[in-house]
Structure 1
Amino acid sequence: MHNTDTPPMSPGIDDELDEEDMVYVGDVDEVIDALENEEPMEDEDPEVDDSITVFDRHQKSVFCGSLTRDGKLAATGGEDDMAYVWDTTSGEMIHECTGHKDSIIFAEFNKDDTYLATGDMSGLIQVWKMSDKSVVWDFEIGDAAWLRWHKQANVLFAGSVAGEIYMWKIPTGECKIFQGNGQKTETAVVCADGQRLIAGYEDGAIRVMDLKEGTIHTTILPNIAHSAPTTDLDCQFDSKLIVSAATDGKTVLSTVATGKVVGVLQHLQENKQASTEEGTSQESKTDDWIEAVAFCKDPELHFVATGTLSGEIFIWDVSKQVVRHKITQEGGVSKLVWKGTSPILFSAGLDGVLRCYDARTAQLLQSFSGHRQDILDIFISGDGSKILTTSDDSTARIFDISAY
């Protein structure tokens, strides 16, 4: 009697079977079809990874990161409430920054790599002395929106969800506070001259702070430049112009000295509303905005780059306020960074791809693959040899960009 619990014998390798003689019963043919369909997958190439180092210690999204000037060490922070310092060549962890109890939104070395500041969304800030990995200063400000190091001094800034902006000397902790108006401070940048800080707010206001005097130098009121939360802003290399973007779809140029609006480079939602009225599909037309802005630091090239969530990058001639190039990439843009004072622009893609462009020609020089989800932050080492990327895929990666 046949034992129904015994699996059918597989054909031996030496048995030659004529396909016409084979009899298919029930669902056997479907199983064989499925197996046949799977065979080509074995021959497919593995996914491309152009990175030279992968750091996979984080358990959730990696929100932020930075590199030392020589590119030898990286610091990253993430949604897992952890920040790490690690070797960019081996990926080996050097130090674990403990003590945070919320997502890390800032992990960055100071001007000479002697300190590392880490900050989380709950407002806990810690400054670590790199020589012995000890905490030399810490503070809590309540819910935090952003942190920044001064570019020429051991001074740390933080913006709160409540609207205040703090400025501390490190490691003494001597503090100045710029009072808010009840509106969340969304982002900020320190001017190249080191004398002023520019902040953008939830209501669209922009304020310029005099750091020496500890006062508000200039205010651009809501509805003058923007009428919605600021997404990004930057200051020109000579500290004369501000470029700002907001969720109202506008990209605006204004002056640092007086706050005068000198031009609206683009108004995406207004333009798309007009297109809709002319018969273009309305779907996803009115929710696009500039997510990232960045002035080129080359004094000979008066460029500013802007990038949208839908994947459009615009290279503007600031002096003429006209578009020189428009680039369309497959993934949306989360961040734009120029390499030093060169015309080389790096774009962090929401499709997990890092792209490198020559802004003079709009030529795509290289695409760097490796991430499986959105790239959230990018940082170029001071010597220009490496770029750090952090991602929703729980990894941080190092790419060699010395060729550019």
Structure 2
Amino acid sequence: MKLASLEGIQNAHEDSIWSAAWVRSSEDSPALLLTGGLDETVRLWDPSNFNCVQTFTGHCLGVVSVATHPTRRIAASASIDSFIRVFDVDSNKTIATLEAPPSEVWQVQFSPDGSNLAAAGGGSSSVKLWDTTQWQLVATMSIPRQGAQQPSDKSSNKKFVLSVAWSPDGRLLACGSVDGTISVFDVARAKFLHFLDGHCMPVRSLVFSPSLHDARILFSASDDGHVHVYDAEGKTLLTSLSGHASWILSVDVSPDGAAIATGSSDKTVRLWDLKMRAATQTLTNHADQVWAVAFGPTSRTDVRSCMLASVSDDKSLSFYQYS
């Protein structure tokens, strides 16, 4: 397995780019890429010619997360203005505007069947769920206190939630917090199950294995410089991967489940072979920290091949071919 650099787009946004998500192809449209930046915009890219085909506005502060619906061409963008904008990718028509008081919203993710949208609730120490038919808030899953808590400064919140991920069967939801803990919830019962320990610094990115056979396998990226691989249901840390020189800000898993890619504040993107449990490639396309990596859908002509995108504080967007 390898990554081959395809194209690097400088000044893809007017400010730092913090998020990326792929829009699945349809019968009449190829797969596209959404990016969100601190310039308050979301941009849509056509990887066939590496051009920006549309710029979406609507937020009054930086966009920190973008997510796309698995079956329909709708997307959601979350901003530090505390709002989530749900919109039609083709027309830019606003479908819903969601607010999650009393705190800002960080990462957002649609469920695998598209029936719910989950949002990491920042200082509210919770994950909020909206249904995608009426866009009503249907659940707020709060993270419980972990053991005896010593009195602390009220301004500090160790359970500040940064990241969220769905298992491929939609049964489990995991969220990562500033204190390094990962909380796992049973979605159907909106019930907290347990913590996954092991990290000692913020967990900024989470992703489950795409295979239903490995639906319990969770990958986590942390500022402590490690990627952990957990059995999220069995509460087991299976292995830990290290090699980046600084914070790991993003992790994503390839569609074939054989590799993961990571983006780091050490300015690199790394490709990891999960069987070897080692990094096989380090790419240095960016001049500043890499906030997001995202594998695209598999090629129609080769199911073992897909694109990877990475975005950075240097305002650039890079495309790679994974095979």
TM-score scaled to structure 1, two decimals?
0.61
SS in 1 for 2:6: coil
Residue 89 (1) aligns with residue 51 (2):
no
Partner of residue 387, structure 1: 308
Matches of 2:254 and 2:243, distance apart in 1: 20
Match of 1:62 among 13, 17, 28: 17
Matches within 5 A, 1:132-147: 132-141=91-100, 142-147=103-108
Instruction: Give the unaligned 5+ runs of structure 1.
Output: 1-48, 266-303, 312-331
Residue 123 (1) aligns with residue 82 (2):
yes
SS in 2 for 1:382: strand
1:361 offset after TM fit, Å?
A: 4.7
Match of 1:398 among 311, 319, 323: 319
Q: Taking CA–CA contacts closer than 8 Å with sequence separation of 6 or more, which of the two structures ends up with the larger relative contact order? A: 2
Match of 1:174 among 136, 142, 158: 136
Matches of 1:244 and 1:256, distance apart in 2: 11
TM-score scaled to structure 2, two decimals?
0.75
Matches of 1:172 and 1:309, distance apart in 2: 43
1:242 offset after TM fit, Å?
A: 5.0
Matches within 5 A, 1:8-27: none
In structure 2, the CA distance between the partners of 1:343 and 1:228, relative to structure 1 (3 Å rule), is closer
1:309 offset after TM fit, Å?
A: 4.6
Which structure has the highest helix share of the two? 1
Deviates most, 230-239 or 176-185? 230-239
8 Å Cα contact 2:206-2:219 kept in structure 1: yes
Matches within 5 A, 1:196-215: 196-213=172-189, 215=190
SS in 1 for 2:107: strand
8 Å Cα contact 1:68-1:113 kept in structure 2: no
Which residue type is aligned with residue 146 of structure 1?
Answer: Q
Partner of residue 112, structure 2: 151
Deviates most, 194-203 or 128-137? 194-203
Aligned residues: 290
1:394 offset after TM fit, Å?
A: 0.7
1:372 offset after TM fit, Å?
A: 2.3
State, as a whole percentage, how many aligned pairs show the same letter. 16
Which residue type is aligned with residue 245 of structure 2?
Answer: S
Matches of 2:286 and 2:259, distance apart in 1: 21
1:337 offset after TM fit, Å?
A: 3.0
Pairwise CA RMSD: 3.4
Which structure has the highest strand share of the two? 2
Instruction: Give the unaligned 5+ runs of structure 2.
Output: 145-156, 299-304
Matches of 1:347 and 1:256, distance apart in 2: 20
Matches of 1:66 and 1:249, distance apart in 2: 23
Larger Cα Rg: Structure 1 or Structure 2? 1
Residue deviations 1:97-134 (CA, integer Å, cap 9, x gap) = 21111111112221035111111122211111124221
Partner of residue 34, structure 1: none
Partner of residue 165, structure 1: 127
